[in-house]
Chains A and B, each alone.
Chain A
Amino acid sequence: MRPNADSAPQRIMVVRCPSLCDPDTSTAGPQAARLFERVIGAVTGFCPNVEAAELGVCAFGARGPARYFGGEGVLASKIIAAVTELGVESRVGVADGIFAALLAARRADPASPVNPASPINPASPINPAGPAGPAGPVLVIPPGGTAGFLAAQPVSVLADQDLAGLLKRLGLLTLGDLAALPASDVASRFGDAGEAVHRLARGLDLRPLAARPPADDLSVAREFDPPEPLAEPVVFAAKTLAEQLHAGLAARGLTCVRVQVRITWADGEESSRLWRHDGLLTAAGVADRVRWQLDGWRAAPPDGQYAQGGIGMLRLVPDQVVRATGHQLALWGEAVVSDRVARAAMRVQAMLGHEAVLRPVTGGGRNVSEQVSQVPFGEKREPPLAVGPPWPGRIAGAAPGVVYPVAREAEVTDDARRPVTVSGRCVLSAAPARLVIEREPPRRITAWAGPWPLSERWWDAVAARRRARFQLATDDGRAWLAVVRDSRWVIEAGYC
């Protein structure tokens, strides 16, 4: 039942509950959502892969279930009966493609009052192909009849009302009129939006139905009774568990982006950590990560015990389950991290956590601390500020060898030991002569330059920063990047 773009047009069945999706009816809000949840539950009894299109409307691929239940009409009436048991009225539309099926479900019962949101003339021949299913709240557009069905629909059924109004004023009253135009002309006149509605009008879908597989619990667990005080047996069990996990995922054509290793200790406490997986890890690889993690949690060698007693349960949980699409290395681009380096980095991550091992990324920015950012190992490396644009106000010249993660408090005084201040117009009270950084002994300033004002993000009251920057050379041969912000001196970096 997986959508397959290459095959013949997909048969889509849409179940629509007018009482749940029309805003003017009584049931609304959480109550409607709860009721709809039960409707989906009922529909799932016929087909496991159901996509909720919006509140009150769900869709699924009909080919397989229809064959099983003996025809689309039979399936539709069974579903309607099941949903009616919940006290909800429903309509069913079947067509090639989800757009047509949604419209068909909306048009299903000619006797029912027309939805005021869709201005369509009830007298118009809405179903030229003729209903093939049982009469009543089911409208089945037979295979191949979708284009004809759509051609008769007014352009006002399109979600984009602005575009629909424009098309109407241009004399294109039905989707058939629109579909008759060459695709390239529509695209050049209306852009992407026009191209999209032209596809819809021709009966082609924008996207295949993304049916969510049921949220099975794909995690695997192993209990240890009595609790296991040693890591080795747990790691051994982890390998078997990982094989089970991979088999379970592979059987569903899935893979996980990350795997969570969760340990329940003897005292009931739980510890867990996420590991990058990307479908690339072998069972032994997962077991290795379990070992590193257990090593990281163990006390230092002389004791060597787990603070929480033994290990009660090991559980591997796939995180961010996605369709397995295979994996290919980039031809160019990122430096390939050798297995040796990756192992070393991940061992350290096992000891200190994912955020403890970083890789630098050079980026843009006006301040020295912004120009190199750090990204945890294993994550995508992208600078937060682009390198490309010019960054006026950047200090030219040598880069400092020491950039303090947190700027250090400092005191700058003139010859008479009075604090040096900078006015709002960047005028200095006196030449700086003496520098005291935190509790270090005072240094005499031999040369200095500045102030260079910098006013960043003045449009944003929270992120706005206004500062004056200086370079100071001191008698010990060093130089410093000093900043005055909020009338206080801080040292941001040292040239040493």
Chain B
Amino acid sequence: MLPALRDLLPRGGLARGSVLAVPEFGLLCLALAAGASAAGAWCGIAGVPEAGLAAAVGTGLDVERTLLVPDPGPAWPQVVASLLEGCELVLLRPPATAPVQVRRRLEAVLRRAGGVLLVAGDWPGAQVHLRVITQRWTGLGDGHGRVRACCAEVTADGRGEAALTRTRWLWLPAEDGGVTLADPVDIPVPGSPVTHAPPGLRAASAG
């Protein structure tokens, strides 16, 4: 688990056999997968042909231990079940909200295999729901600059021990491509032109 994301999750990590849901695919999903991958787990990514793996590598994903199934097709529940047998973490974007029987069956496979299912989409029974509430990209100006880093407010809630809503400001990604906690001082103010004082640099000096 990436240290910056630990605070957001109950017990500071991904519990084996649990489902995490993020409403929309993005860097947050990749960062969650990257944490597991960096710890030596195999990751399967199903149904996300547009996964930006270069960014994922920046957050720590090991491409040597990654399997991609860009288009699992209509038999996606079987595909995910097979992937779960081999990979500790499966990142899935289901084509539609999964029917309840399909979810039950996959959750049973998940508990047996002891992996983690990370859903980019809707999964009503998920133990933890994470979402990016706001995000602000820094580094771009009015015709100049370059996308450097993104300050994102991420919130997590869920069932049971995850019921308490936690919110953190993160650099997702920071200037070096990794994920770090953001210092409140550095959080860019919305609406203001951002390039005059590159916050990424301040973040780097602060952290």
Contacts and interface: CB of A to CB of B under 8 A. Distances in A.
A495 B144 CA distance: 17
Contacts of B64: 334-335
Interface stretch (B4-12, B13-21, B133-141, B159-167): B133-141
A352 B46 CA distance: 12
Interface string A354-381: 0011111110000010011010010000
Contacts of B132: 496
B85 A477 contact: no
Contacts of A377: 67
Given A352-B72, A356-B71, A399 B63 contact: no
A478 interface: yes
Nearest to B66: A360
Contact of A401 (B42, B55, B83): B55
Nearest to B176: A398
Given A352-B72, A400-B52, A361 B63 contact: yes
Given A341-B67, A359-B67, A479-B137, 20 more contacts: A335-B64, A342-B86, A344-B87, A348-B79, A368-B52, A372-B53, A398-B147, A399-B173, A402-B51, A403-B50, A403-B52, A403-B53, A447-B195, A449-B140, A449-B147, A473-B140, A477-B136, A477-B137, A493-B52, A496-B26
A341 B149 CA distance: 35
Given A344-B86, A352-B69, A447-B195, A477 B143 contact: no
B82 A344 contact: yes
29 contacts: A334-B64, A335-B64, A335-B65, A338-B42, A341-B67, A344-B85, A348-B82, A351-B75, A352-B75, A357-B68, A372-B63, A377-B67, A398-B148, A398-B173, A399-B52, A399-B55, A400-B55, A401-B26, A401-B55, A403-B50, A403-B53, A446-B191, A447-B145, A447-B195, A448-B142, A449-B140, A477-B135, A477-B136, A496-B135
Given A448-B142, A449-B143, A477 B82 contact: no
B137 A402 contact: no
A446 B190 CA distance: 10
Contacts of A351: 75, 78-79, 82
A348 B68 contact: no
Contacts of A398: 55, 58, 139, 147-150, 173, 175, 177
Contacts of A153: none
A347 B137 CA distance: 41
A362 B63 contact: yes
B75 A431 contact: no
Nearest to B90: A344
Nearest to A352: B73
A400 B195 CA distance: 19
Chain A's interface size range is 35 or more
Nearest to B57: A362
Interface string B1-39: 000000000000000000000001111001000000000
- 7 closest residue pairs by CB, A with B: A344-B86, A401-B27, A447-B140, A399-B55, A335-B64, A399-B54, A372-B53
Nearest to B174: A398
Contacts of A471: 140, 146-147
Contacts of A357: 67-69
Interface in A311-358: 334-335, 338, 340-345, 347-348, 351-352, 356-358
Contacts of A344: 44, 67, 82-87
Contacts of B95: none
A35 B149 CA distance: 73
B124 interface: no
Contacts of A257: none
Contacts of B58: 398-399
A478 B57 contact: no
Contacts of A231: none
B86 A397 contact: no
A340 B87 CA distance: 8
Nearest to B44: A344
Contacts of A237: none
A404 interface: yes
A341 B113 CA distance: 12
A395 interface: yes
A398 B177 CA distance: 6
A420 to B, nearest CB: 12
A212 to B, nearest CB: 38
B26 to A, nearest CB: 5
A397 B174 CA distance: 10
A493 B139 CA distance: 17
A348 B70 CA distance: 12
B155 to A, nearest CB: 14
